[in-house]
């Protein structure tokens, strides 16, 4: 069953809804981003007193207006590819600190990362063993695998057995020997266990484990405890308790006070700021199901198909009308998995109605594809 969405969703305000309907009248499908919501989320995270530096994990949404808004809020940036480094360089001032945290990167990717001002993170023995001279004299960060993963879906857990991320702790001594031989200083330790985590205790454990490793290494100055801060997606799900998170972090920091604490959230900053607008194309009744077709699908938003992710869907044209049935909201892509939402209680749809798919500011447009050559999904930015 579907409980009502959180009352604070910006797109429910009548003035915003009117703007969105006007934008959809120009063209659909479209992603629309609400910058005041990005800023609100940024300020919430800045209230974490225990955190010394916040990086925005650019992969969640690379729109330049979002990068600029977060730079203005004082955020640093975490990038995973030369392309992301270039996107940040184009959008934000030189002064914003950068982290380059690639996984299974080619030697050429490291060369490009090292040519920027970014702090470069290694997460395997191979680069230091085979390309050690690249890193000679540099200060680097090292991502370790703490032996477990967390997250909203198996596919977004990035730690533990079966995950390709991080240096296993058993290889730390070998890594340090190679680093030493090349005059490389391990200045930071990093762990990111997964995405969509709502338990605040987790990051405290990560800090404690990294700090214990750092004590062994000696040269470490910062501990990057990753991102992964979740936002509730299902109705009725509790929000991440930031006050509890801060309390947990202050406690572990008191035990190991000599390290700077860094984080790198993506989703938390941008998920709620984005909506996807699409229009009703057709309806169909078949085998007891009612299908509501819209003019985009898994090509614009792959999260439901890939992770069974739940996104609220509303008929923006008929927001105040009562629901008349349960619908499968589907796109035009030639795959059975092209379902944006199942069993959605919605008002009686009419061709041309504007449908809104909520909470699509994170991992929406950036994961879209040209599949079926439906064309690129446009992005529009709203500010007050
Ligand atoms: N740091 C590292 C090293 C990461 O790999 C990620 C995300 C983040 C930070 C940011 O995580 P966040 O705060 O956004 O949870 N496409 C999936 C999520 C994949 C996340 C990949 N790594 C989804 O749509 O749920």
Q: Once rounded to an integer, what is the mean pLDDT over residues 332-337?
A: 98
Shared domain for 103 and 197, answered yes or no, is yes
Classify residue 12 as exposed, middle or buried by CB count within 10 Å of its CB (0-12, 13-18, 19+): middle
* Residue that the structure tokens 């945290």 belong to: 101
Going through the chain in order, the beta strands assigned E by DSSP cover 30-34, 53-57, 76-79, 98-100, 119-122, 139-145, 167-168, 185-190, 222-224, 260-263, 274-286, 289-294, 313-315, 325-330, 339-346, 354-357, 378-382
Shared domain for 315 and 335, answered yes or no, is yes
Shared domain for 247 and 281, answered yes or no, is no
Classify residue 379 as exposed, middle or buried by CB count within 10 Å of its CB (0-12, 13-18, 19+): middle
Q: Whose CA is nearest to atom 5 of ligand 1?
A: 192
Is the residue at 78 inside a domain? yes
Q: Once rounded to an integer, what is the mean pLDDT over residues 92-97?
A: 91
Residues in a beta bridge with 283: 292
Report pLDDT for 87: 98
79 annotated active-site: no
Shared domain for 185 and 77, answered yes or no, is yes
Report pLDDT for 80: 98
In ligand 1, the atom with minimum distance to the C-alpha of 158 is 5
Between CA 79 and CA 98 the distance in angstroms is 7
CA of 21 to the centre of ligand 1 (A): 31
Shared domain for 276 and 231, answered yes or no, is no
Tell how far CA 204 is from the center of its chain: 20
Q: Once rounded to an integer, what is the mean pLDDT over residues 84-113?
A: 96
Helices (H), the chain: 14-26, 35-46, 64-72, 82-91, 107-114, 125-130, 172-181, 201-217, 242-255, 267-270, 303-307
Range of the domain at 102: 36-269
Report pLDDT for 1: 37
* Residue where a domain stops, chosen among 269, 285, 308: 269
Q: pLDDT (tens digit, 9 = 90+) per residue, 204-227?
A: 999 999 999 999 999 999 999 999
CATH number of the domain where residue 318 is located: 2.40.37.10
Shared domain for 353 and 363, answered yes or no, is yes
CA-CA-CA-CA torsion for 314, 319, 322, 323, nearest 10 degrees?
Answer: -10
Is the residue at 220 inside a domain? yes
CA of 9 to the centre of ligand 1 (A): 23
Report whether pLDDT(327) > 50. Answer: yes
Q: Once rounded to an integer, what is the mean pLDDT over residues 355-381?
A: 98
CATH number of the domain where residue 127 is located: 3.20.20.10
Q: Whose CA is nearest to atom 19 of ligand 1?
A: 156
Pairing of strands 274-286, 354-357: antiparallel
Is the residue at 4 inside a domain? no
Shared domain for 178 and 285, answered yes or no, is no
Shared domain for 107 and 222, answered yes or no, is yes
Report whether pLDDT(176) > 60. Answer: yes
* Residue where a domain stops, chosen among 269, 300, 317: 269
128-144 in b/e form (b: 16+ CB < 10 A) is beeeeebbeeeebbbbb
Q: pLDDT (tens digit, 9 = 90+) per residue, 240-260?
A: 999 999 999 999 999 999 999
Residue 369: strand, helix, or coil: coil
Catalytic residue among 334, 336, 373, 384: 334
Q: What percent of the chain is predicted at pLDDT more than 90?
A: 95
Is the residue at 3 inside a domain? no
Shared domain for 214 and 304, answered yes or no, is no
Shared domain for 306 and 377, answered yes or no, is yes
Is the residue at 311 inside a domain? yes
Report pLDDT for 4: 44
pLDDT-derived band of residue 384, with 50, 70 and 90 as boundaries? Answer: confident
Pairing of strands 354-357, 313-315: antiparallel
* Residue where a domain stops, chosen among 269, 287, 307: 269
Shared domain for 16 and 78, answered yes or no, is no
Is the residue at 1 inside a domain? no
In ligand 1, the atom with minimum distance to the C-alpha of 228 is 15
CA of 327 to the centre of ligand 1 (A): 30
Shared domain for 162 and 297, answered yes or no, is no
ipTM of the complex: 0.99
CA-CA-CA-CA torsion for 58, 61, 66, 68, nearest 10 degrees?
Answer: 30
Report whether pLDDT(47) > 50. Answer: yes
Is the residue at 233 inside a domain? yes
Q: Whose CA is nearest to atom 9 of ligand 1?
A: 227
Tell me the pTM.
0.96
Number of domains the chain contains: 2
Average pLDDT of the chain is 96
In ligand 1, the atom with minimum distance to the C-alpha of 195 is 15
Residues in contact with ligand 1 (CB, 6 Å cut-off):
57, 59-60, 78, 101, 156, 158, 192, 195-196, 226-229, 264-268, 303, 307, 363
24-38 in b/e form (b: 16+ CB < 10 A) is beeebbbbbbbbebb
Q: Whose CA is nearest to atom 3 of ligand 1?
A: 192
Report pLDDT for 8: 79
């Amino acid at each position: 069953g579907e409980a009502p969405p959180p009352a604070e969703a910006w797109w429910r305000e009548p003035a915003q809804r009117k703007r969105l309907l006007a934008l959809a009248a120009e063209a659909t499908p479209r992603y629309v981003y609400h910058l005041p919501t990005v800023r609100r989320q940024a300020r919430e995270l800045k209230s974490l007193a225990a955190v010394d530096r916040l990086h925005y994990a650019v992969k969640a949404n690379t729109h330049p207006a979002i990068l600029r808004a977060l730079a203005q809020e004082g955020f640093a940036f975490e990038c995973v590819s030369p392309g992301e480094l270039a996107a940040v360089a184009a959008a934000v001032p030189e002064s914003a600190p950068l982290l380059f945290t690639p996984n299974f990167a080619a030697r050429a990717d490291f060369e490009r990362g090292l040519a920027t001002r970014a702090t470069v993170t290694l997460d395997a023995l191979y680069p230091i063993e085979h390309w050690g001279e690249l890193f000679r004299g540099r200060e680097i960060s090292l991502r370790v695998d703490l032996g477990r993963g967390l997250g909203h879906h198996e596919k977004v857990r990035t730690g533990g057995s079966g995950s390709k991320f991080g240096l296993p702790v058993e290889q730390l001594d070998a890594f340090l020997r190679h680093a030493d031989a090349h005059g490389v200083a391990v200045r930071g330790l990093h762990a990111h266990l997964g995405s969509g985590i709502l338990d605040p205790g987790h990051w405290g454990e990560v800090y404690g484990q990294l700090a214990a490793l750092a004590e062994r290494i000696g040269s470490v100055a910062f501990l990057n405890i990753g991102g992964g801060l979740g936002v509730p997606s299902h109705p009725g799900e509790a929000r991440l308790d930031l006050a509890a998170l801060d309390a947990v972090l202050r406690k572990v920091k008191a035990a190991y006070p000599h390290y700077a604490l860094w984080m790198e959230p993506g989703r938390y900053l941008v998920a709620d700021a984005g909506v996807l607008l699409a229009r009703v194309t057709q309806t169909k009744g078949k085998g007891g199901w009612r299908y509501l077709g819209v003019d985009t699908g898994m090509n614009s938003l792959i999260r439901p198909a890939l992770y069974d992710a739940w996104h609220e869907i509303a008929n923006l044209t008929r927001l105040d009308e009562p629901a008349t049935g349960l619908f499968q909201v589907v796109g035009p892509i030639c795959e059975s998995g092209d379902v944006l939402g199942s069993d959605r209680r919605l008002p009686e749809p009419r061709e041309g109605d504007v449908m809104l798919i909520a909470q699509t500011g994170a991992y929406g447009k950036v994961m879209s594809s040209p599949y079926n050559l439906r064309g690129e999904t446009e992005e529009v930015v709203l500010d007050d």
